[in-house]
Structure 1
């Protein structure tokens, strides 16, 4: 009994000492411009922790934390979300969690892990942009790798100059951060929800601090860090093969995109000879140009396999590369840049500390060499070996820091897995389940890619799992669909591509002249309609021309908005290509409106312009502004 009390006392003293090294401070919202987030019941914090948990009295770092309070009084154990990457942002996605099903009965704890997002220090926040500029250039794969190593090492040196302890950015440090945060928030246990690389962090945390975990949710899971890079090419080929097979078995897809596999590999060969250069906004690439070579093409298709909606348009996209459709490929550049939005200082600290040292480059190359037509795997990933080889020079990387993910603890585990996922494929889910002895459920999304939990169905399944309710077939029915809804019958239209790109990138005031002009046209339509049906007024040819011109412009605008809205609801990625062919009449309407506008302009100028110059100048200006926008877009 005395021994037991002694250990209790020692544990208490240790806890007091540990808590003295951390500090939780309430702060204002990280989104002061967002009225929605400011009004919501969210507590925002800065959490100070030791950078090196083995030297708790030395340098401190600051983690950004958000606690979204449960919407009901009957609270259950909180959920802590662990982002992937490594280097992904968490708190920047707070808006996603506002109405998440989990929030009904649970507080949701979001943490920008050390070196990410709003946490400090920020580790080379512009490194991703530098990588993108390297990719945009028309240069050899070898030069790309040399440039990537150069800017990465500059980042490393910059962090060292700031006093950053590079070896302290790893999964064990994250586990200590989470354990300390749980304690300071006064939480007994919480549900740990990790996605992608966050599943590796989550499993490490659950192994080191099993008493913290109520349940474990692993979305797109990693089962063994030593295979994370080694099997990369093999996993990509698995997903590609499934794509080719699914399209071939779909009559419409096979008819519109025949010999998809052959086209994919032939395009690699063509791009090795003649890359494709497209013009892009200088805010994306300072040079205003992006050149797709074979490696860019391979990684663009690989990244597209992450997303269900993109999977549905992949045959169309592969054919746009084949046909060298520069307008579509220019629009793709912005989406492609999102793949490099990670905090790359954090990424390489983690990757070079605890991933690359356990992955064998010779084995990676050996596996890649089995796929001759792919010609060397993916240099986008292989180059990380080059970076880490230089990054870890003269550093003592202790392999003993890596721990087995085998876990005998009794908490429930849910694993979500996408059938087309090219980085953590379906067989990873089965292997991950072997890390746990019992109480493991696997949910497969056969036509999905990466991150099933970001869908409504995934969110509902996770809520039922956390609340110990059955995951029924009705909940899984969306995931159980096994046929990909490939998008066919798409009319390519550069006007739609450019217009939607401007809508997403331009400031709202850019469209003010267009909106005002459309309102003027609406007034013209109402006025001429009144004159036509008025018994007191006699209509002439100019009235009818103004009526027809305004009517076609209004119908065109309404049809275009309806087509875009319908496409947004169906698959918004289609807007990077054009519109489904059922909306082809919209483009004919625009040509008709342009023809009528020219005829009306000429007749008005000849017949009645001098009678009321200010009035007709206003009409000419309004109609001219509308056509200026649409002709500039390429309609």
Structure 2
């Protein structure tokens, strides 16, 4: 298969005012109709939801910032309040453009029931089939890969009349940014990548080792912190104890929320391990991990069960699972070999369970054909700013370094103690300064070099 070519656009994109709660300034909304298969513009068309947040200052410039979300499977417009806050400095002079990637939000969404961490194999297969059946009449999932999403961004750029744009992507959004840059290099003025997921990433293969390294670093920080070490002196051994206990016999917890009926939650070893991995993404929760592990070692799984339900609900609400599979199955899972799994997963708490689940599901999923050079490194001289965290449980700094080595005008910032994507006032200022200057040369990043200080949660009374 070749790369999708943008063709068949009939008219500019009409935008209308659409005030958004919690977002100041002018917001304009519109829908662009594009071919589902760019090689067949006379065939089925799908909508792309677009929101433009107009610059708030008196002298805006003409190159907006296109904001690209992660997952894959997040809808950009559903994060609009967070984006408006993080990009407030940049927005003084530049419009912000949010496009729901095809398969998410208001762009022919592929909403499906997401799997649970310990679903049996047959249930995982059933979920994949149910997802395909739900959207069989409205979508051909072979046309929902990253190359098609990049073509859609180009269509939006053309329809809005932007000569050049700036890209800001997080997690999977960094891959989309790189693919767009490969295809339309002359249209990109600058690029920001946060938590770098390159085209050859092979999601979720790196999670096992990266998650183990992040957990080891967190437990080491606990040992070096006098209060944490005093409260939880054996937390590493307790973690292994919990894994061993759950391997023999999963825990059952009865949750009794203040509102609604009671819920019985089964905590298996796989569910526990995958939840720990998710917790490591989020600094406020990661601070609580020694306490949560200690409680579980004492036989109290209520906190973990509550978090498991909360995470599952949040993922179900935020991730359009059909789109995630449409991307991950042909772009990532198809390139994971048994030798890769045998090399990357032993000795890690996550093991191969997550990969195994995806392999089962992707075996049932229609396989899109990818361009032959899709997985090659993206080479460019476009000014680029990359961020990585030393405690990232999914995209550790080596991926950012590898991508940066092919971007001749890039700067890769590794933040000590940071996790996956770390919005902060400091990061926001550095990004704003970079986009304003259009270069990483001379950029003041002093505030990013201070190691992150972990303030672990310690109960008032020793547990």
Q: Distance in 2 between matches of 1:284 and 1:74?
A: 50
TM-superposition CA deviations, 1:32-54 (whole Å, max 9, x none): xx3x44x7301011111111111
Contact 2:275–2:308 (CA under 8 A) maintained in structure 1 = no
Q: Find the counterpart in structure 2 of residue 563 from structure 1.
A: none
Partner of 2:135: helix, strand, or coil?
helix
Partner of 1:306: helix, strand, or coil?
coil
Partner of 1:225: helix, strand, or coil?
coil
Q: Find the counterpart in structure 2 of residue 67 from structure 1.
A: 52
Q: Find the counterpart in structure 2 of residue 475 from structure 1.
A: 447
Candidates 94, 105, 109, aligned match of 1:106: 94
Q: Which runs of 5+ in 1 are unaligned?
A: 1-13, 136-140, 494-635
Partner of 1:43: helix, strand, or coil?
strand
Shift of the 87–284 alpha-carbon distance from structure 1 to 2, 3 Å rule, reads farther
TM-superposition CA deviations, 1:595-615 (whole Å, max 9, x none): xxxxxxxxxxxxxxxxxxxxx
Candidates 325, 336, 349, aligned match of 1:359: 336
Contact 2:25–2:56 (CA under 8 A) maintained in structure 1 = no
Structure 2 residue 46 is matched with structure 1 residue 57:
no
Contact 2:142–2:368 (CA under 8 A) maintained in structure 1 = no
Q: Find the counterpart in structure 2 of residue 443 from structure 1.
A: 413
TM-superposition CA deviations, 1:316-374 (whole Å, max 9, x none): 121122123344334323432224431001111111121211222441133213x1x63
Partner of 2:324: helix, strand, or coil?
helix
The structure with higher relative contact order (CA 8 Å, sep 6+) is 2
Q: Distance in 1 between matches of 2:219 and 2:14?
A: 53
TM-superposition CA deviations, 1:203-249 (whole Å, max 9, x none): 01100110111111100002352543333211111112212222222
Partner of 1:352: helix, strand, or coil?
helix
- TM superposition score normalised by structure 1: 0.66
Structure 2 residue 121 is matched with structure 1 residue 152:
no
Q: Distance in 1 between matches of 2:320 and 2:42?
A: 27
- Once the two structures are TM-superposed, the CA of residue 490 in structure 1 deviates from its matched residue by 3.9
Structure 2 residue 433 is matched with structure 1 residue 464:
yes
Q: Find the counterpart in structure 2 of residue 186 from structure 1.
A: 161
Q: Find the counterpart in structure 2 of residue 115 from structure 1.
A: 103
Shift of the 415–96 alpha-carbon distance from structure 1 to 2, 3 Å rule, reads same
Q: What is the root-mean-square deviation in Å for CA atoms of aligned residues? A: 2.7
TM-superposition CA deviations, 1:444-473 (whole Å, max 9, x none): 222221112x32222111111111274324
- Once the two structures are TM-superposed, the CA of residue 384 in structure 1 deviates from its matched residue by 0.6
Shift of the 216–445 alpha-carbon distance from structure 1 to 2, 3 Å rule, reads same
- TM superposition score normalised by structure 2: 0.90
Q: Find the counterpart in structure 2 of residue 274 from structure 1.
A: 249
Q: Find the counterpart in structure 2 of residue 242 from structure 1.
A: 217
Structure 2 residue 410 is matched with structure 1 residue 434:
no
Contact 2:199–2:374 (CA under 8 A) maintained in structure 1 = no
Q: Find the counterpart in structure 2 of residue 79 from structure 1.
A: 65
Q: How many residues align?
A: 451
Q: Find the counterpart in structure 1 of residue 237 from structure 2.
A: 262
Q: Find the counterpart in structure 2 of residue 624 from structure 1.
A: none
Structure ranking higher in helix proportion: 1
Superposition pairs of residues 65-464 of structure 1, within 5 angstroms? 65-76=50-61, 77-99=63-85, 100-119=88-107, 121-123=108-110, 125-128=111-114, 131-132=115-116, 135=117, 141=118, 144-160=120-136, 162-280=137-255, 288-337=263-312, 338-340=314-316, 341-369=318-346, 371=347, 374=349, 377-392=351-366, 395=367, 397-398=369-370, 400=372, 402-407=374-379, 409-436=380-407, 438-452=408-422, 454-464=423-433
Partner of 1:400: helix, strand, or coil?
coil
Q: Distance in 2 between matches of 1:290 and 1:66?
A: 39
- Once the two structures are TM-superposed, the CA of residue 166 in structure 1 deviates from its matched residue by 1.3
Q: Distance in 2 between matches of 1:283 and 1:106?
A: 45
Contact 1:116–1:122 (CA under 8 A) maintained in structure 2 = yes
Q: Distance in 2 between matches of 1:365 and 1:285?
A: 44
Shift of the 106–475 alpha-carbon distance from structure 1 to 2, 3 Å rule, reads farther
Candidates 27, 41, 45, aligned match of 2:26: 41
Partner of 2:414: helix, strand, or coil?
strand
Q: Distance in 1 between matches of 2:452 and 2:368?
A: 48
Contact 2:386–2:411 (CA under 8 A) maintained in structure 1 = yes
Contact 2:267–2:305 (CA under 8 A) maintained in structure 1 = no
Runs of 4+ in 1 over 6 A off after TM superposition: 281-287
Shift of the 18–58 alpha-carbon distance from structure 1 to 2, 3 Å rule, reads same
TM-superposition CA deviations, 1:145-169 (whole Å, max 9, x none): 3212211121113222x14121110
Shift of the 368–65 alpha-carbon distance from structure 1 to 2, 3 Å rule, reads same
Q: Distance in 2 between matches of 1:352 and 1:282?
A: 37
Q: Distance in 1 between matches of 2:133 and 2:16?
A: 32
Contact 1:236–1:423 (CA under 8 A) maintained in structure 2 = yes
- Once the two structures are TM-superposed, the CA of residue 28 in structure 1 deviates from its matched residue by 6.1
Structure of larger gyration radius: 1
